Structure 1
């Protein structure tokens, strides 16, 4: 079976970096064809640097990196996460990037790449600003997107940035609302499942034993980022693309609250017939994961690097 080709929209971020390293180790199953960056975990400039630092680490300078939105749609500036350190990679010693950025704004490039692919799969693990802008600029774009797998939201559990909201959706709730209203098949891996995919001492030990430069960098990220947030948020989205059998999920109609205030970015996930009120589900909400199988999948991918 041919590898699933996908565009990665992200805000690297330590857990985005871990997600990239998981994906890039499994070229047999999924093939990253481009990276579009958005401000989120850190500002846009360090996100762009970090994406290229990771690609250079694994020798994948052939994958283009595009600059996207530096702020949310309806705010003059976003918020950043304190979990990733000042550089976004938890104080990594990776050198500054050498590879050049690709030309074009991420929103335009999403549209161009989707048309070139015919049916594009997108994995998004940051605020959804780039995707929302692409959908605004190109109303026909949903016809060229096969599916979106995203990390974001908190459907049936408390938030991590506000009591009701997860970071990515709180940063740009309007963007999230636009994406969920676009009639595109969406799989959402939010805090409901990512809080079950945890960094463990055993996982760190297994990664350290591999003994390659790539595994050493992964161990650094797991130790330094995991000490602040032990949840492997963004790698969960990649793991879903690799092996859905280790997850559980429900079909729901998801909408996003956008009104300013403590509920901005909250997910309303209707599952029961009564709550659906005649609406059809628009999202697969992932709710559980086999944590040991997830760890095995992650570690095995690192063994595949030369």
Structure 2
């Protein structure tokens, strides 16, 4: 039986790859909804990108809802230096999508889907956690209906600051609400996503697959890798957001351990830091922490997913 998921995202080249993996025919996941949030770029651009990706992946029946346009407390933070002005630079997909959004706020769609479902649904946030936090605060009754929150964010070090990863830094107040909600959480932070790296050889292998989805992914990765090289001087780029989706499809790719995570919201230099406490008593655990992945298994899964799309 397919596992029901909702993807909350800010596409984003790596968000796009997460969607591609979830929608592929090798996936055991059923996408119930896609919601968007301000993150890599503003929420309007992220929403347009989600719709464009749905057109590419032929997700005609999956509702897409625009969510939070800014963090709960802070001013909006974007990452156009990595993802481009559109948030999804580097692809030849049509600029204007055919698919349209549903007329409901993303946080409300999360609430509606959870309350209406007979089975628990897994939430997969790959951007800031604003929509998830808003849904939990508005309707705490959804928490028992959440099978798991499998998120990309945080880590024991940062990429936006020395202490904080971008998604958590962008709305640490929201992240704090989520980690303190009591919902089951699996956390895929920089410690593990930096082990999923793409380079020029990766791009050529993907391009050789030859179908339109693989071509779009190779184009996105080319832009993404060039951004990494230009800003950081690196010859490979971390592919963050597909990690939680890959875990849901094949948990054997990853090693996770029980931890307690606190989110720093008051530090002058540590705002957005996820303080990961390992070796804690079982009654103090609030998350599973992904520390290692098998790169060969990860990329084998990724390539197999791309080959399932039609030419």
Using the size of structure 1 for normalisation, the TM-score is 0.94
Match in the other structure for 2:111: 111
Match in the other structure for 2:216: 217
Q: Distance in 2 between matches of 1:55 and 1:27?
A: 17
Q: What count of residue pairs does the alignment treat as equivalent?
A: 300
Q: Distance in 2 between matches of 1:209 and 1:189?
A: 29
Q: CA shift at 1:109, angstroms?
A: 1.0
Q: Distance in 2 between matches of 1:62 and 1:27?
A: 19
Match in the other structure for 2:234: none
Q: Distance in 2 between matches of 1:200 and 1:246?
A: 20
Match in the other structure for 2:141: 140
Match in the other structure for 1:298: 302
Q: Distance in 1 between matches of 2:32 and 2:147?
A: 15
Q: Distance in 2 between matches of 1:28 and 1:21?
A: 10
SS at match of 1:148: strand
Q: Distance in 2 between matches of 1:80 and 1:39?
A: 10
Are 1:251 and 2:258 an aligned pair?
yes
1:197-220 per-residue CA deviation (whole Å, 9 max, x = no partner) reads 000333222211111111100110
Q: Distance in 2 between matches of 1:43 and 1:171?
A: 12
Q: CA shift at 1:102, angstroms?
A: 0.6
Q: Distance in 2 between matches of 1:224 and 1:28?
A: 26
SS at match of 1:286: strand
Match in the other structure for 2:18: 19
Q: Distance in 2 between matches of 1:19 and 1:28?
A: 11
Are 1:182 and 2:181 an aligned pair?
yes
Contact 1:123–1:149 (8 Å) recurs in 2: yes
Q: CA shift at 1:81, angstroms?
A: 4.1
Q: CA shift at 1:75, angstroms?
A: 1.7
1:156-202 per-residue CA deviation (whole Å, 9 max, x = no partner) reads xx200000000000000000000000001100000000000000333
SS at match of 1:188: strand
1:79-98 per-residue CA deviation (whole Å, 9 max, x = no partner) reads 33410011111232211112
5+ unaligned residues in a row in structure 1: which ranges? Answer: none
1:138-159 per-residue CA deviation (whole Å, 9 max, x = no partner) reads 121211111110000013xx20
Q: Distance in 2 between matches of 1:58 and 1:266?
A: 35
Q: What pairs up with 1:161-180 in 2 under 5 angstroms?
A: 161-180=160-179
| CA gap 1:81/1:249 in 2 versus in 1, 3 angstroms | farther
Q: CA shift at 1:14, angstroms?
A: 0.9
1:259-281 per-residue CA deviation (whole Å, 9 max, x = no partner) reads 152211101111124xx6x8521
Using the size of structure 2 for normalisation, the TM-score is 0.93
SS at match of 1:8: strand
SS at match of 1:187: strand
Root-mean-square deviation over aligned CA pairs: 1.4
Q: CA shift at 1:27, angstroms?
A: 5.8
Match in the other structure for 1:41: 40
Match in the other structure for 2:99: 99
